[in-house]
Amino acid sequence: MGLKKALIRLNNWLTRRKKFDLEPSQVLLLCPRCLQKSDCVQKIVKDPFLCRQCGECDVASLVKLALDRGVQLAFVTGGARALELLRRKDVRAVVAAACELELVSGLLRSGRKPVLAIAIRRPHGPCQDTRVALAEVEQALDYFLRR
């Protein structure tokens, strides 16, 4: 196992040792723009709910999951914007999906805010038409929302 993977697993293990009972509006689902199909014309970074729900990428499923759970959802183009959103006062916990490098970088700069990190798959190489394990995202959200 690589160092990045080990750091992500350690972070998630430490986060899961704590108990959470957050309101859905206090949880942010943070995703990279590269989860969107590369030839899609919709501007999901400005508003993920503009997704046309074509099913050719994971965006539609993530939008549905965010709506079902009532959590905040954001797609970002890079780490600086991700950290800006993570540091907002109304965000008490984050489920972050990204490549391992971005996750580790974000985790090291996230401060004390709890983050569950999910590494994306890159079947077409970095930053293009990536995928995320939706079951992992759902499980992570439910962990923070556990009653």
For the chain, first and last CA: distance in Å? Answer: 34
CA distance linking residue 41 with residue 138, whole number of Å: 26
CA distance linking residue 42 with residue 17, whole number of Å: 39
Model-level pTM? 0.94
Overall number of domains in the chain: 1
Task: Supply 43's token pair.
Answer: 């501007």
Alpha helices in 17-133 (DSSP H): 59-69, 79-86, 100-109
Q: Which domain holds residue 86?
A: 3-145
pLDDT grade, residue 111 (50/70/90)? confident
- What's 76's DSSP letter? E
CA distances from residue 98 to 51, 108, 109, 134, 142 in whole angstroms, order as listed? 19, 14, 15, 13, 19
User: What pLDDT digit, counting tens, does each position of 8-30 carry?
Assistant: 999 999 999 999 999 999 999 99
6: Cβ–Cβ under 8 A, 6 or more apart, which residues? Answer: none
User: What pLDDT digit, counting tens, does each position of 56-83 carry?
Assistant: 999 999 999 999 999 999 999 988 899 9
Q: Residue 112: which CATH number?
A: 3.40.50
